[in-house]
Amino acid sequence: MDSATFRKLGHQLIDWVADYRERLERLPVMSPVKPGEIRKLFAKEPPASGNGLADALLRLDESIVRGVTHWNHPSFFAYFPSNTSYASILADLVAAGLGAQGMSWQTSPAATEVEEVVMDWLRQMVGLPDGWTGVVHDTASTATLCALLCAREKSSGFSQNTSGLQGLGAPLVVYASQEAHSSIEKAALLAGFGKRNLRLIETDESHALRVDRLSQAIAEDEAAGRIPCALVATVGSTGTTSIDPVRAMLQVAHAHRMWLHVDAALAGTAMVLPECRRLWDGVVNADSLVFNPHKWMGVGVDYSAYYVRDPQHLVRVMSTNPSYLLTAQDGAVTNYRDWQIPLGRRFRAIKLWFYLLDAGVEGLQARIRRDLANAQWLRAQVDQAEGWQRMAPVPLQTVCLRHVPEALGGDEAALARHNLAIARRVNESGAAYLTPSLLKGRQMIRVSIGAEATEQRHVEAVWSALQDAARAETSGA
Amino acid sequence: MDSATFRKLGHQLIDWVADYRERLERLPVMSPVKPGEIRKLFAKEPPASGNGLADALLRLDESIVRGVTHWNHPSFFAYFPSNTSYASILADLVAAGLGAQGMSWQTSPAATEVEEVVMDWLRQMVGLPDGWTGVVHDTASTATLCALLCAREKSSGFSQNTSGLQGLGAPLVVYASQEAHSSIEKAALLAGFGKRNLRLIETDESHALRVDRLSQAIAEDEAAGRIPCALVATVGSTGTTSIDPVRAMLQVAHAHRMWLHVDAALAGTAMVLPECRRLWDGVVNADSLVFNPHKWMGVGVDYSAYYVRDPQHLVRVMSTNPSYLLTAQDGAVTNYRDWQIPLGRRFRAIKLWFYLLDAGVEGLQARIRRDLANAQWLRAQVDQAEGWQRMAPVPLQTVCLRHVPEALGGDEAALARHNLAIARRVNESGAAYLTPSLLKGRQMIRVSIGAEATEQRHVEAVWSALQDAARAETSGA
């Protein structure tokens, strides 16, 4: 493709993206396609000769858009929000256009130094003190794996340089709550700890980790000769946005020389509001922390912010230095290849930079306050509505609810079927997208607010849709 | 930002990218900035209020471009090539615009099904038979970590579900060659094997793994009660693009029930040429294989193709299934969250799709043949030039050379200083970018050909620049 064609197609695609965003609200949120429906629109064999993307726009409309679940739709209430602002889209265009690969400082100094700048801005924005240093990872799952690897190496005196986990006498143990994200278990298993050395601790009535049960589990492990290694605190759990007691957990972690990692994947963004920072009180003394600007901020997937208090330890765990990666500036600069699992890395920092140039901290704060207020509005509706039950406190932007019609009494199996049917009815209508989930064995529906385009009227609409679906399911319609 | 502003800025940025690409050849390949020079152009604090990206283009010109090392420059000969074609840039724009997150099929069916389609196209393109299945990872480092985790779990009877590596009786051992990429060592260490259980096997005069030494190492480990677990074959090593004997290594792997992983990060792309496939003869019987379309193909970073013969085993190692991730289609569809370490994932498949729509397989083949021919041209020049030494065979597109002036005789320390100085002189001139590297203790310079824009005249120019630099260094200028 020559540059003239690129210009022409590029202008068309910029308008295509803007058109898509403008009509987003009229599209079904969850893709209505059936399995295999998109695949069969494609040839089974690759094109032998190229056509210069002549039919690309047509193909996008015909083969792609119907198969997309629209994460930026104002009625996207599933999972956690994942916002890609216009500014972030433009930044991705720039990053792709430059095609820089920032594994080492020398391989694109700007990729490294802009990341240092914006990750320090972000540190200040969420109220972390000097002494915390950030790096961009793809996702919280990967950052958490790095945290557990760092914990493993600290507790084992750098066993990776000797016999690894295979040479340890006493097993190392990892602790988190039963409401911790599945990525904690995945990371513990991939890091080699083994499921028998992972303790998922009971939670209290607010679904926060019970410190008494944690201490009990640690005592049992120590009595059996096992070594407490890592503790993961969840600030804003995926199920209900419950908040583990970070300060109390830190005391336990320090008493037993354990690594404390904080998973604030969603909630971290709320910390741009000073009034929210009580939710992670104590966090400044943790060892590592992850949150995802690609969730509730305006920064498109993937952009996960991993902060550590001892970057030298991270580098010691992650670095390898073959001769072909040495550069003249080593020692004087940051080489992010040593802060992560992959070697290569895209220029992702430009996304946060563009987003903040566009919106400013105050613009972001206003949006987060709007979303928190919308969640409180929905909470109040649920609390007042007959036949509806709120399943958990609402410290952030997710409201967990279920419909409890009198006829079903306390029949949990029937309630589960009923609420799954309600969620499916709403999702398949295309009017909104919600996530059904289990909380301590009870079926609920999560309404997770925070798409950039979501205004109160969209929350009102999903509440109506839920009530309509409940009525239809109750009447057997 | 409203959509009108997005359209206006988007059109400007498309032209900015095209302008950048058009003037690329006149820019210094390696960024000339000093450490800290870019950072000091930025405020220490984030912007309180936004300005709608009003000065974004100016800031890009002033703060970014000088700090970028231009990976798509026609005189980029460092590391391995990393091509981002115009088509791939447009695809990244579309992916960012859609903002889809394809962790599960339901969360964007098109993201999953297009990936299934294009990864199967790619399988056919490199001559892998039916029965191999691919998934997009970020980098070969991550894919190799997954491969060693899969090997670990296979040899240990799924120890992650019991006591992990901490509960094994006999240690598991990983084997690769001394010329294997540093990511193999990193993966083995992160996976918990420990450096003492990693064997880097001696190579022959072509820098390929010596199977006799491999068998010897395995015999010693088995005699000592250790269990051979994984063997990594390198097809196209980073140092010299040396080719390990895959077929012979497979026999050893099968005899000892080891996992065989093939690292063909660069070389995989060459397999679109049938005449190159002899280089990985036997590969069809390996267990896993990774190569990077984001290197020598036109697909921008990051896009690593990880192929396995038993996807169910990969899923068993990588999957966790909390209630909030269950969907109605589970079992009938592919949920790529279970094929990788991260949970979230961008819509990367669209990059390969757009690239192939644009160039076609034949367009790609023509470019690869051009690059192979350019490398042979340079090889012939080096072989004929007095005072120059070719350091390794040239099976692909990288020529390893050094200048050996008569005055320095066989003084390896002086030759190392001399050749490092030559590489630095060329790199700092901005005329080309090369990677100095060590080969069995001897300093050499790698000339790695394969940027999309690199024609023979650019290879002629870097050869002239090397000769000029050698003369200048020899004369002490």
Nearest residue to B263 (alpha-carbon basis) of B439, B393, B145: B145
**A226, closest residue in chain B (CA to CA):** B166
Name chain A contacts of B88, Cβ cutoff 8 Å.
Answer: 96
Render B390-449 in DSSP notation, one character per residue.
E-S--SSSEEEEEE--GGGTT-HHHHHHHHHHHHHHHHHHTS-B-EEEEETTEEEEEEE-
| Euclidean distance between CA atoms A36 and A237, whole angstroms | 33
Rg (CA), chain A: 24
Interface of B with A in 280-299 (CB under 8 A): 294
pLDDT on residue B329:
84
Token representation of residue B242: 């040396």
Interface of B with A in 149-188 (CB under 8 A): 149, 152, 159-168, 171-172, 181-183, 185-186
Residue A333: what are its φ and ψ, rounded to 5°? Answer: -135, 170
Nearest residue to B39 (alpha-carbon basis) of B21, B64, B16: B64
Which residues are B390's β-sheet partners? B401
| Euclidean distance between CA atoms B161 and B178, whole angstroms | 33
Under a CB-based contact definition with an 8 Å cutoff, are residues A248 and A211 in contact? yes
Pick from B107, B138, B360: which is nearest to A342 by CB? B138
Token representation of residue A129: 């003190």
DSSP state of B234: E
Tally the C-alpha atoms within 13 A of residue B61's C-alpha that lie toward its C-beta.
Answer: 9
Record: contact B109-A52, CB cut-off 8 A: no
| Euclidean distance between CA atoms B223 and B219, whole angstroms | 6
Token representation of residue A177: 């709550």
Which residues are A442's β-sheet partners? A439
| Euclidean distance between CA atoms B340 and B361, whole angstroms | 28
> Does the beta carbon of A442 lie under 8 angstroms from any beta carbon of chain B?
no
Nearest residue to B271 (alpha-carbon basis) of B231, B301, B307, B230: B307
Q: Coil, strand or helix: which one is A96?
A: helix
> Does the beta carbon of A140 lie under 8 angstroms from any beta carbon of chain B?
yes
pLDDT on residue B389:
97
Under a CB-based contact definition with an 8 Å cutoff, are residues A109 and B314 in contact? no
Interface of A with B in 77-96 (CB under 8 A): 78-79, 82-90, 92-96
**Parallel, antiparallel or unpaired: strands A172-177 and A227-234:** parallel
Size of interface A-B (CB pairs under 8 A): 521
Token representation of residue A448: 């997770």
pLDDT for residue B409 is more than 90: no
DSSP state of A62: I
| Euclidean distance between CA atoms B91 and A452, whole angstroms | 23
Measured in whole angstroms, how far is the alpha carbon of residue B111 from the centre of its chain? 23
Render A34-58 in DSSP notation, one character per residue.
PTTTTGGGS-SS--SS--TTTTHHH
Cα A324 to Cα A336, B203, B477: the distances in Å are: 16, 18, 27
Task: Classify residue B114 as left (phi > 0), alpha (psi -120 to 50) or beta.
Answer: alpha
| Euclidean distance between CA atoms A67 and A62, whole angstroms | 9
Q: What is the mean pLDDT of residues B88-102?
A: 97
Nearest residue to B416 (alpha-carbon basis) of B406, B426, B427, B402: B402
Record: contact A107-B79, CB cut-off 8 A: yes
Q: Is the dihedral of CA A179, A184, A189, A194 positive or negative?
A: negative
Record: contact A6-B344, CB cut-off 8 A: no
pLDDT > 90 fraction of chain B, expressed in percent and rounded: 94
**Parallel, antiparallel or unpaired: strands A172-177 and A133-137:** unpaired
A48 min Cα distance to partner chain B (Å): 5
Record: contact A93-B13, CB cut-off 8 A: yes
Record: contact A197-B163, CB cut-off 8 A: yes
Token representation of residue B78: 């460092």
Q: How crowded is residue A281: how many other Cβ atoms within 10 Å of its Cβ?
A: 14
Interface of B with A in 310-339 (CB under 8 A): 317-318, 320-325, 328-329, 332-333
Name chain B contacts of A25, Cβ cutoff 8 Å.
Answer: none
> Does the beta carbon of B72 lie under 8 angstroms from any beta carbon of chain A?
yes
**A53, closest residue in chain B (CA to CA):** B358
A155 min Cα distance to partner chain B (Å): 13
Contacts of A143 (CB under 8 A, 6+ apart): A137, A288, A290, A304, A306
Residue A81: what are its φ and ψ, rounded to 5°? Answer: -60, 155
> Does the beta carbon of A46 lie under 8 angstroms from any beta carbon of chain B?
yes
Record: contact B48-A93, CB cut-off 8 A: no
| Euclidean distance between CA atoms B297 and B83, whole angstroms | 6
B387 min Cα distance to partner chain A (Å): 23
Contacts of B406 (CB under 8 A, 6+ apart): B387
Tally the C-alpha atoms within 13 A of residue B46's C-alpha that lie toward its C-beta.
Answer: 30
Contacts of A11 (CB under 8 A, 6+ apart): B10, B11, B14
pLDDT on residue A409:
81
| Euclidean distance between CA atoms A104 and A84, whole angstroms | 27
| Euclidean distance between CA atoms B256 and B312, whole angstroms | 22
Interface of A with B in 443-462 (CB under 8 A): 446
Q: How crowded is residue B409: how many other Cβ atoms within 10 Å of its Cβ?
A: 10
Name chain A contacts of B361, Cβ cutoff 8 Å.
Answer: 46-49
Name chain A contacts of B145, Cβ cutoff 8 Å.
Answer: 341
Token representation of residue B252: 């050893």
Contacts of A61 (CB under 8 A, 6+ apart): none
Name chain A contacts of B116, Cβ cutoff 8 Å.
Answer: 39
Q: How crowded is residue B417: how many other Cβ atoms within 10 Å of its Cβ?
A: 14
| Euclidean distance between CA atoms A223 and B123, whole angstroms | 53
Pick from B11, B42, B321: which is nearest to A117 by CB? B42
Record: contact B67-A107, CB cut-off 8 A: no
Cα A288 to Cα A164, A258, A277, A335, A349: the distances in Å are: 22, 12, 17, 19, 20
**Mean pLDDT in order along chain A per 10 residues (477 residues):** 97 98 97 97 97 90 95 98 97 98 96 98 97 98 98 96 92 98 97 98 98 98 98 98 98 98 98 98 97 97 97 94 80 94 97 98 98 98 98 98 92 96 97 96 97 98 98 85
**A420, closest residue in chain B (CA to CA):** B328
Name chain A contacts of B327, Cβ cutoff 8 Å.
Answer: none
Strands (E), A188-243: 198-201, 227-234
> Does the beta carbon of B416 lie under 8 angstroms from any beta carbon of chain A?
no
Contacts of A20 (CB under 8 A, 6+ apart): A65, B97, B98
Interface of A with B in 366-385 (CB under 8 A): none
ipTM for the whole complex: 0.97
Q: Coil, strand or helix: which one is A403?
A: strand
Pick from B6, B111, B195: which is nearest to A18 by CB? B6
Record: contact B161-A195, CB cut-off 8 A: yes
Q: How crowded is residue B468: how many other Cβ atoms within 10 Å of its Cβ?
A: 16
Pick from B53, B185, B301: which is nearest to A357 by CB? B53
Interface of B with A in 247-266 (CB under 8 A): none
| Euclidean distance between CA atoms B376 and B371, whole angstroms | 9
Q: Coil, strand or helix: which one is B266?
A: coil
Q: Is the dihedral of CA B47, A93, B264, B449 positive or negative?
A: negative
Under a CB-based contact definition with an 8 Å cutoff, are residues B424 and B434 in contact? no
Name chain B contacts of A438, Cβ cutoff 8 Å.
Answer: 323-324
Rg (CA), chain B: 24
Name chain B contacts of A99, Cβ cutoff 8 Å.
Answer: 71-72, 82-84, 89, 300-301
Q: What is the mean pLDDT of residues B210-216?
A: 98
Tally the C-alpha atoms within 13 A of residue B66's C-alpha that lie toward its C-beta.
Answer: 14
**A331, closest residue in chain B (CA to CA):** B35
Name chain A contacts of B42, Cβ cutoff 8 Å.
Answer: 114, 117
Higher pLDDT, residue A54 or B419: B419
Render B437-472 in DSSP notation, one character per residue.
EEETTEEEEEEE---TT--HHHHHHHHHHHHHHHHH
Record: contact B142-A69, CB cut-off 8 A: no
pLDDT on residue A169:
86
**Parallel, antiparallel or unpaired: strands B172-177 and B198-201:** parallel
| Euclidean distance between CA atoms B184 and B34, whole angstroms | 32
Under a CB-based contact definition with an 8 Å cutoff, are residues B84 and B298 in contact? yes
B208 min Cα distance to partner chain A (Å): 18
| Euclidean distance between CA atoms A144 and B88, whole angstroms | 30
Interface of A with B in 116-135 (CB under 8 A): 116-118, 120-122, 124-125
pTM of the model: 0.97
Record: contact A195-B6, CB cut-off 8 A: no
Name chain B contacts of A82, Cβ cutoff 8 Å.
Answer: 99, 101, 344
Token representation of residue B338: 């279970």
Which residues are A227's β-sheet partners? A172
Record: contact A190-B160, CB cut-off 8 A: yes
Under a CB-based contact definition with an 8 Å cutoff, are residues A348 and A75 in contact? no
Pick from B18, B171, B344: which is nearest to A163 by CB? B171
Record: contact A50-B318, CB cut-off 8 A: no
Name chain B contacts of A44, Cβ cutoff 8 Å.
Answer: 120
Pick from B72, B90, B113: which is nearest to A39 by CB? B113
Q: Residue B370 — pLDDT band, cuts 50, 70, 90?
A: very high
Nearest residue to A467 (alpha-carbon basis) of A385, A393, A379, A390: A385
Q: Which of A141-150, A434-443, B270-279, B404-413 has the lowest mean pLDDT?
A: B404-413
